[in-house]
Amino acid sequence: MKINENFRKFEGAPYLFKAVQEKEDEYRKNNPDVKVISLGIGNTKLPLHAGIAEYIAGATAGLGRLEGFTEEQLEAGTQMVKDFTKQD
């Protein structure tokens, strides 16, 4: 398995989510006019957005069976996530 090299940027961080938040905060401070869509940990005291929960449930429904996982589903799901994140 190949490790995503971007994770190496966080080596030595005491808590990954805190390190990600610090990097996001720094980026927002240095780029105040840029709209940032954060896919970080979010508020764990609130439920997921209904659309995201429905997508996850649908996307994982077939993964419990060998015939339930196809490359076409992966590509379609990836496009669906891209389309969903474009919405305001």
Mean pLDDT of 64-82: 66
d(Cα 33, Cα 16) in Å, to the nearest integer?
Answer: 26
d(Cα 52, Cα 81) in Å, to the nearest integer?
Answer: 9
Nearest partner of 21 among 43, 5, 50, 3, judged by Cα: 43
pLDDT tens, position by position, 40-69:
667 778 888 888 888 888 877 777 776 766
In a domain, 75, yes or no: yes
- φ and ψ at residue 37, rounded to 5 degrees: -100, 110
In a domain, 45, yes or no: no
Q: Let me know whether 29 and 58 are in one domain.
A: no
Domain that residue 5 falls in: 1-40
Q: Let me know whether 33 and 64 are in one domain.
A: no
pTM of the model: 0.41
Extract the tokens encoding 4: 């995503």
For the chain, how many structural domains are there in total? Answer: 2
Half-sphere exposure of 23 (CA within 13 A, CB side): 13
